[in-house]
Amino acid sequence: MTTDAAYTELSACLRRTHLLDSIGQLLGWDEQVNLPADSADLRAEQLAVLAEIQNAAAANPRTGELLALLEPSDLEADQVAVVRQARRDYDRATRLPPDFVREKAMQASRGYHAWARARAENDFASYAPVLEQNLEIARREAGYLGWAGREYDYMIDLHDPGMSAELIARLFAELKTGLVPLVRQITGSPVRARTDLLRGFPVEGQRAFLREVTARLGFDYRRGRIDVSLHPFCSGTGADIRMTTRFNADEPLDALFSSIHETGHGLYEQGLPRAHHGTALGMNAGMGVHESQSRLWENQVARSRGFWRHFEPRFRALFPAQTGGVSADELYLAINAVVPTLIRVDADEVTYNLHVILRFEIERRLFAGTLAVRDLPAAWTAAAQELLGLTPGSDREGVLQDVHWSGGAFGYFPSYCLGNMMAAQLWYRALALRPDLEADFARGDFTWLLGWLRREVHAAGRRHELPELVRRVTGAAFSPQPLLRYLRERYGPLFPA
Ligand code: ZN
């Protein structure tokens, strides 16, 4: 068999796995958006059958044969990237014993329910043994895949290929040094944002506005849609993106900014090379890069003066009664409010990073064995005081607030902050190339920025790991300094000492 024939056959296998995955995503989207209340059992069965088919496809022995044939061959750079990713996925599908996979799935479900109960009753003690089992399962999984001794690195690499705990620790330490005093300055400012000014925004108007905004940013509604769900998300593939949002009449900025965030994810997926969906060339580069795209549109773009110069008149026209007594400055301050909170999902873009640093430091100690699960609540309280200057009134406001660990998702939190860092670095590179970028926005023109991201980030697929992608696009090493600079430049003038 020639190398070309083997490569073509491998691509077809990967494409099939990708299509099965996209079917699963569609069923998952439907479950959260449309599913009638009493149809959940059928959906669970459907998803279980599909998971069996997906696993069989991912572990197809033929894929193993093709990889064994291709790996020693002389391949082009693009083919090397495809084969490397295929090996990663194949090993994950084949190296975990079936008993372990079953145990892990059952534990994830058990963990979720134990967490939900513990959170409702503020009872960490009942959740602690489950969390210990989750950690043990994560360690075993890392061992099966050849990461013994580097278990936390394995968890990080799952979400952000190429990143490690040591590298993240260095980046976060530098970020923390700059961020803690900046937050103190902002919260010490006599200027206060008034988010309570925005009340009673009819959902229909909100829906119309966010649809206009996201279409203008470049989201292609012929290859995607937006609906309502309990928690906003973005799923699907570039050929069919499903985004969701949620509406609250008294929090119009929540629906708008969460939609713009998901639009950033959607634009990235829509920009991945269509002919290569299913292989590394048409695949996103990991969670951190994904978040860089959502954050860039949500924060750098949609919280800018230029953006609001264009959209504010339309916003006021849609909601004349609600915005009548609100000045332009008051509106812009509400859009850029910074208020430290104990709850990560309620955090603004400045303090959000501190929530991530807190979780990363705790996860790292858990995996290193220097922090015991039973000591988590105390460690969390100490970290919240140090980083946020706040003391949780209960474990619900502390260690029990996030769902992630209950399902065994360790190493996931850092992606959010890596994404913020990368977004700021991309932003300054874009500004260096096009200094009047905000003048584009003021005209409602986002085509230059999207075109640049398409060429530099989206078209690359998963050829490069995050630090290398950043270096290629910006010419500089991946660093927290651009994020610190951006936060200082945007929030310093708004909240003077
Ligand atoms: Zn996101």
Rounded alpha-carbon distances, angstroms, from residue 412 to 177, 223, 419 = 22, 28, 12
DSSP assignment letter at 274 = G
Yes or no: say if 273 and 461 are a contact pair by the CB < 8 Å rule. yes
Query: 262 catalytic, yes or no?
Result: yes
User: What separation in Å is there between the alpha carbon of 234 and the centre of ligand 1?
Assistant: 8
Domains of the chain, residue spans: 3-146, 165-494
**Per-residue pLDDT tens digits for 88-140:** 999 999 999 989 988 998 898 889 989 999 999 999 999 999 999 999 999 99
How would you list the strands of the sheet with 234-237, edge to edge? 224-228, 240-245, 234-237
Yes or no: say if 277 and 406 are a contact pair by the CB < 8 Å rule. no
Q: For residue 230, what pLDDT is reported?
A: 87
Q: For residue 98, what pLDDT is reported?
A: 87
CA pseudo-torsion sign 305, 309, 311, 315:
positive
Yes or no: say if 470 and 161 are a contact pair by the CB < 8 Å rule. no
User: What separation in Å is there between the alpha carbon of 157 and the centre of ligand 1?
Assistant: 18
User: What separation in Å is there between the alpha carbon of 160 and the centre of ligand 1?
Assistant: 14
Q: What is the pTM of this model?
A: 0.96
User: What separation in Å is there between the alpha carbon of 149 and the centre of ligand 1?
Assistant: 30
Residues of the chain with pLDDT below 50 are none
Rounded alpha-carbon distances, angstroms, from residue 309 to 68, 231, 306, 316, 440 = 57, 29, 5, 12, 11
The amino acid sitting at 96 is L
User: What separation in Å is there between the alpha carbon of 289 and the centre of ligand 1?
Assistant: 10
Ligand 1 (ion): residues with CB under 5 Å are 294
For residue 454, the Cα-to-chain-centroid distance in whole angstroms is 19
Yes or no: say if 413 and 472 are a contact pair by the CB < 8 Å rule. no
Domain 165-494 class in CATH: mainly alpha
Catalytic residue, from 141, 262, 269, 291: name it: 262
User: What separation in Å is there between the alpha carbon of 301 and the centre of ligand 1?
Assistant: 15
Neighbouring C-beta atoms of residue 389, cutoff 10 Å: 14
**Per-residue pLDDT tens digits for 203-230:** 999 999 999 999 999 999 999 999 999 8
The amino acid sitting at 427 is W
For residue 74, the Cα-to-chain-centroid distance in whole angstroms is 36
Q: For residue 483, what pLDDT is reported?
A: 98
